[in-house]
Amino acid sequence: QVQLVESGGGLVQPGGSLRLSCAASRSIFSINTMVMGWYRQVIGKERELVATITSGSSTTYADSVKARFTISRDNAKATVYLQMNSLKPEDTALYYCHVIYVRLGRTYEYWGQGTQVIVSS
């Protein structure tokens, strides 16, 4: 029923920019108890929370990406974005889209398959 499909990853030089997109099932974007987020993971390390955005558009960021990354959403397109500027080699990771929400007293959680970001000269 619910799918998250990431896109926009790729290879960029340090200091460059990328914009990741996460297209979701339209039905969940009308839920006002949801939180969507971007996570990233490198082999051998724990999956790290990068940024979150609520249905009311409140946002949070990891300290490592503050002032460089911006999370946003477009309900009409059922899409969440992650604008990444001033990219550093340490931003290299597999980036995952994530959603958690409550409907009729039940909690639901979904993950995308991930999109690769490589920052290298």
Question: Is the pLDDT assigned to residue 8 strictly greater than 90?
Answer: yes
Paired tokens of 118? 């490589």
Percent of the chain with pLDDT over 70: 99
Helix (H, G, I), strand (E, B) or coil at 27: helix
User: 25, 3 in Cβ contact below 8 A?
Assistant: yes
User: 86, 13 in Cβ contact below 8 A?
Assistant: no
Closest CA relative to residue 116, chosen from 95, 98, 97 = 95
Give the span between the Cα atoms of 72 and 70, in whole angstroms: 7
Region 18-25: mean pLDDT is: 96
